[in-house]
């Protein structure tokens, strides 16, 4: 569903992503794990069509810059950027109109309820805390009922209730057959239900671990042996 082939993204001469490839299938949760500066956000933004890069990215077979791909891809950025003078509900309405959604209101209400935001519908963007903005951002990404969803450091800034709810929502998305790609520097954050973890270092995916490899209990050791080693790519595959 989310297919990344040989992506290279350079800032000046430095490659933030260096020949990166990955696949996340329908019903799978892929986690991009790596220290700060590993290239996770660059890759996530490339997948969402926000950066220029060399290589090919498709969503359900459609080039990620096509309308078809944008229609089925949801994106929750690391930093929510709401319109200060639009209410929570107007943000959802704005997305609904842009995507020409029909009968979206009940679903939008359900999403707000799940995230404890039902009583904040009339609040302006500028009146919301960082965590509330994050929740609105998640609701905006999900109201289109995307087939693939990309989350950039989604748990940062959420309160414990928000974290629990978002994890449940992500699990539900997986159960519904959506493809999920999540970037995080918190190893423990997604351990419940990830299917495939991509460990990034210096712009490269240096290790791919699938749940069925049975290495869940060793993930932390593997992560540190890779990210703390001196070499360009850490441990060999």
Q: What is the DSSP string of 103-167?
A: S-HHHHHHHHHHTT-GGGTT-BGGGS-HHHHHHHHHHHHHTT--SEEEEESTTTT--HHHHHHHH
Part of the chain binding ligand ADP (CB under 6 A), chosen from 30-38, 135-143, 205-213, 216-224? 30-38
**Which one among 16, 20, 111, 132 touches ligand ADP, defined by CB under 6 A?**
16
Specify the residue, 42 or 134, whose C-beta has the smaller distance to ligand ADP. 42
Contact code string over 41-80 relative to ligand ADP, x by CB under 6 A: xx--------------------------------------
In the chain, % helix, strand, coil (3-state, to 5) comes to: 40, 25, 35
Distance from C-alpha of 173 to C-alpha of 47, rounded to nearest angstrom: 19
- The reply to whether 34 sits near ligand ADP by the rule CB under 6 A is yes
Give the interface size with ligand ADP as a residue count (CB under 6 A).
10
Question: Pairing state of beta strands 29-33 and 196-201?
Answer: parallel
- The reply to whether 169 sits near ligand ADP by the rule CB under 6 A is no
Distance from C-alpha of 186 to C-alpha of 196, rounded to nearest angstrom: 15
**CB of 180 closer than 8 Å to CB of 170:** yes
Part of the chain binding ligand ADP (CB under 6 A), chosen from 20-28, 35-43, 67-75, 126-134? 35-43
Question: What DSSP element (H or E) covers 207?
Answer: strand 204-210
Specify the residue, 30 or 39, whose C-beta has the smaller distance to ligand ADP. 39
Q: 184: Cβ–Cβ under 8 A, 6 or more apart, which residues?
A: 31, 32, 33, 40, 153, 154, 155, 190
Part of the chain binding ligand ADP (CB under 6 A), chosen from 38-46, 130-138, 164-172, 207-215? 38-46
- The reply to whether 187 sits near ligand ADP by the rule CB under 6 A is no
Q: CB of residue 63 vs ligand ADP: minimum separation in angstroms?
A: 22
**Which one among 13, 36, 106, 188 touches ligand ADP, defined by CB under 6 A?**
36
**Which one among 20, 22, 31, 38 touches ligand ADP, defined by CB under 6 A?**
38
Chain contacts with ligand ADP (rule: CB under 6 A): 11, 16, 34, 36-42
């Amino acid at each position: 569903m989310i297919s990344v082939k040989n992506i290279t993204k350079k800032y000046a001469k430095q490659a933030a992503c260096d020949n990166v490839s990955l696949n996340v299938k329908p019903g799978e949760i892929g986690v991009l794990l790596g220290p700060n500066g590993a290239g996770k956000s660059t890759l996530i933004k490339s997948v969402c069509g926000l950066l220029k890069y060399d290589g090919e990215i498709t969503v359900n077979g459609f080039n990620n810059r096509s309308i078809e791909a944008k229609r089925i891809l949801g994106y929750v950025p690391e930093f929510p950027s709401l319109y200060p003078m639009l209410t929570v509900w107007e943000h959802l309405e704005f997305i609904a109109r842009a995507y020409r959604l029909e009968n979206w209101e009940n679903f939008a209400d359900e999403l707000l309820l799940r995230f404890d935001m039902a009583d904040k519908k009339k609040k302006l963007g500028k009146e919301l805390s960082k965590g509330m903005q994050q929740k609105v951002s998640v609701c905006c990404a999900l109201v289109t009922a995307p087939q693939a969803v990309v989350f950039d450091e989604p748990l940062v800034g959420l309160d414990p209730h928000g974290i629990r709810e978002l994890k449940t929502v992500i699990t539900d998305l997986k159960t519904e057959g959506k493809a999920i790609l999540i970037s995080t520097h918190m190893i423990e954050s997604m351990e419940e239900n990830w299917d495939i973890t991509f460990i990034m270092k210096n712009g490269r995916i240096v290790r791919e671990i699938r749940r069925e490899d049975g290495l869940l209990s060793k993930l932390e050791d593997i992560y540190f042996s890779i990210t703390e080693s001196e070499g360009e790519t850490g441990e060999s595959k």
